[in-house]
């Protein structure tokens, strides 16, 4: 397929500490929450055996990245201590790295100390929901360690973000925020950036669908786009479902995201996301 298709981004390769992440064709990031309170899979992967079986299944189904998080960011969630976050994520990352040494492991954190320890344990990508706003040292560490960095937009913080999210123009404001943050990151020598508009993070259902509809606008930055919509409220509230019932809706929204330029799908269900990517690849190949 040619690079003119909207599922492609200008920057397509990332060095994750010796592992090549190739986004010339969209990939799947599998979510592994080692938390008791995440909105969908909290408490499921707290034993090493369950964790490894789940990770193996995701990798066999085609996940290119495993994203490990130790602090819930669902609406209304409160922060856990740094010590608790470390206690949750470090054994998980170490076990995953030992058993799947070729897997790209992402650490979902905004804390500099957690990032350092996670990278030492085997992580090679950082997924920061705070966009650098929570820990001023984090970006310096990202630069020093030469890590690819996922820059996510969030209005407020998880404890308050859904109380009354408001924008004059959601897409334009997220775009302007990205522009400012990218310049700041570049000034530190950070160029391996992936953009995440932050579906569900300080947005109403309408804001989320506005961002989804105009997702391709963010391709103007020449950077890959991550879409994290898996089983989220934009689907559940629209269809009057619970997260456990939202797989079909997730696949539909993921497909729209792919058509509008997403390069990474962050999901709980790898097989279905990989099937959506395969079908979109065939669609684009048919019109080349």
Higher pLDDT: 7 or 205? It is 205
Q: Which token pair is 229?
A: 């919509």
- Specify the residue for token string 């509230």: 237
- 165 and 156 Cβ atoms separated by less than 8 Å: yes
- 144 and 168 Cβ atoms separated by less than 8 Å: no
pLDDT of res. 7: 44
Instruction: Tell whether the model's pLDDT for residue 165 goes beyond 80.
Output: no
Supply the mean pLDDT for the chain: 91
Give catalytic residues, as residue numbers. 232, 266
pLDDT of res. 76: 63
Confidence (pTM): 0.91
Instruction: Tell whether the model's pLDDT for residue 262 goes beyond 70.
Output: yes
Q: Region 209-225: what's the mean pLDDT? A: 97
- CATH for 25-287 (3.50.50.60, 3.40.50.720, 3.20.20.20, 3.30.70.890): 3.20.20.20
Render pLDDT for 42-75 as a digit per residue (tens, 0 to 9).
Answer: 556 578 899 999 999 999 999 999 999 998 776 6
**Distance (Å, whole) CA 116 – CA 68:** 14
Could you tell me what percent of the chain has a pLDDT over 90? 81
The CA–CA distances, whole Å, from 241 to 15, 113, 238, 270 equal: 39, 38, 8, 20
Render pLDDT for 123-151 as a digit per residue (tens, 0 to 9).
Answer: 999 999 999 999 999 999 999 999 999 99
- 210 and 174 Cβ atoms separated by less than 8 Å: no
Q: Please report, for the chain, the start and end positions of each structural domain, with discontinuous segments joined by +.
A: 25-287
Q: Region 150-172: what's the mean pLDDT? A: 82
**Distance (Å, whole) CA 118 – CA 187:** 25
């Amino acid at each position: 397929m040619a690079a003119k298709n909207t599922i492609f981004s200008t920057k397509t390769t990332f060095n994750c500490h010796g592992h090549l992440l190739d986004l010339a064709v969209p990939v799947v990031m599998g979510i592994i929450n080692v938390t008791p309170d995440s909105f969908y899979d909290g408490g499921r992967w707290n034993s090493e055996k369950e964790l490894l079986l789940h990770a193996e299944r995701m990798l066999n189904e085609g996940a290119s990245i495993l994203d490990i998080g130790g602090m819930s960011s669902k609406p209304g969630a409160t922060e856990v201590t740094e010590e608790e976050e470390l206690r949750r994520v470090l054994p998980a990352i170490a076990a995953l790295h030992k058993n799947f040494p070729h897997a790209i492991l992402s650490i979902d954190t905004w804390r500099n100390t957690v990032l350092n320890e996670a990278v030492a344990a085997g992580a090679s990508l950082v997924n920061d929901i705070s966009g650098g706003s929570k820990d001023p040292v984090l970006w310096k560490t990202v630069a020093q360690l030469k890590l690819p960095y996922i820059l996510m937009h969030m209005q407020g913080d998880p404890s308050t973000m859904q109380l009354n999210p408001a924008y004059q123009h959601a897409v334009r404001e997220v775009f302007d925020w990205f522009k400012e943050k990218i310049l700041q990151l570049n000034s530190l020598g950070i160029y391996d950036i992936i953009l995440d508009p932050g579906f569900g993070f300080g947005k109403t259902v309408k804001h989320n669908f506005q961002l989804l509809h105009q997702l391709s606008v963010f391709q103007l930055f020449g950077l890959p786009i991550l879409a994290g919509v898996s089983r989220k409220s934009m689907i559940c509230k629209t269809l009057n479902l619970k997260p456990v019932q939202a797989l079909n809706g997730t696949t539909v929204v993921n497909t729209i995201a792919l058509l509008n330029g997403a390069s990474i799908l962050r999901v709980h269900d790898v097989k279905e996301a990989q099937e959506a990517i395969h079908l979109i690849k065939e669609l684009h190949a048919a019109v080349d």
